[in-house]
Copies of this chain bind each other. A is one copy, B any other.
Amino acid sequence: MSTNAIGELGDELMIIDKSLIASIRWNKELGRKLKILRGTESMQSLAKRAGCAYQLIQHLERGEYPESSPRNSAPTVSTEKLEGICQALSIKIEDFLGCPLVKLPQKIQNIA
């Protein structure tokens, strides 16, 4: 599966109201990015600041659930939790995902 990271755009991009996205399908590349951004901070410390369980950070960095898990091997993460993690990492969720954000000027909103 392709990601939206620069140079690896999928072939179908959707322009969607950010608030409509409830969860993101994770992949190993996003996991690697998360690990790099975490740097030397412990998973526990980041999880505490992000308001999630450190096991979530662990699963996400691995990019897959452990083989023992009954769940599908492709993890998903709620945008709410991902927003928390991104906030703790001082990065916007759209920048983390490599997804451009289009902000409509107020005037255009009013016309539309």
- Across the interface, do A97 and B24 meet the contact criterion of CB distance under 8 Å? no
CA distance A94 to B76 in the complex (A): 20
Query: Given contacts A2-B19, A21-B25, are A14 and B94 in contact (CB under 8 A)?
Result: yes
CA distance A18 to B99 in the complex (A): 11
Q: Interface of chain A, helix or strand or loop or mixed?
A: mixed
Contact residues of A with B, CB < 8 Å? 1-4, 6-25, 76, 94, 97, 99-104, 106, 109, 112
Query: Given contacts A9-B112, A76-B23, are A101 and B14 in contact (CB under 8 A)?
Result: yes
Q: Could you jot down 27 A-B contacts, CB within 8 Å?
A: A1-B19, A3-B20, A7-B112, A9-B17, A9-B104, A9-B109, A10-B17, A10-B18, A10-B19, A11-B104, A12-B19, A13-B17, A13-B102, A13-B104, A14-B94, A14-B102, A15-B99, A15-B101, A16-B16, A17-B99, A20-B24, A20-B97, A20-B99, A21-B21, A22-B22, A22-B24, A23-B76
